[in-house]
Amino acid sequence: MFLEQKGNKIQKKGWIEVVCGSMFSGKTEELIRRLKRAEFAKQKVEIFKPAIDIRYDDENVVSHVGTSIRSTPVPSSGNILLLANDVDVVGIDEAQFFDDELPEVCEKLANSGIRVIIAGLDMDFTGKPFGPIPALLSKAEFVTKVHAICMQCGDLAQYSHRKTQDEALVLLGEIDEYEPLCRKCFNLVPKR
């Protein structure tokens, strides 16, 4: 937490951090690591996730390797503004599933002196920008792109290939439904 002197008043300086990448790249693991470090530093932390994400736990944010942290599931990004009171750090997981108001919500939090850490997929299963993530990337002071390992050739992977024929944009799934692929292997997959 950084403090800045403005006249006789000391203000907290907020900012936005985005951790993005494909499925199985460690986005949630990195989010949890940063949030636990903030808690260790005695900062007040609140974590939010979309209410639809119940893959591993109804409430906790849980990484694919089982690391978890307490969170509050919310139906929309506007709820985050209502619930993030008197905090130093806000964490948001699976940001791609939130509505298009999320970038504005994050900007309001950062402008009020809160460090905002967001994790989410930057591309959907077709390789197109996903949900509010592109707007968040443009507003963030810090962007970390993490990579998985391509399940076909072993190179760095940045695509989340859907192995099922389901065409819905949002399909919560794991290794049975998705696999990380590099650019070359993703482009070799027949397009739907």
Which pLDDT does position 60 carry in this prediction?
Answer: 66
Q: Identify whether 113 is part of a domain.
A: yes
| Residue 177 confidence (pLDDT) | 80
Label residue 186 by pLDDT band (50, 70, 90): very high
Q: Where are the beta strands (DSSP E) in the chain?
A: 2-6, 9-13, 15-21, 45-50, 61-62, 68-69, 72-74, 89-92, 115-121, 142-146, 148-149, 156-157, 159-162, 178-181
Residue 175 domain flag: no
> Is 78 a residue whose pLDDT tops 90?
yes
| 101 among known catalytic residues | no
88 found inside a domain: yes
CATH number of the domain within which 16 lies: 3.40.50.300
Q: Does residue 161 sit within a domain?
A: no
Q: Which of 17, 30, 94, 179 is catalytic?
A: 94
pLDDT value, residue 163: 84
132 in a domain, yes or no? yes
Overall number of domains in the chain: 1
164 band by pLDDT with thresholds 50, 70 and 90: confident
In a domain, 190, yes or no: no
Domain assignment present for 163 = no
Domain with 117 in it: 2-147
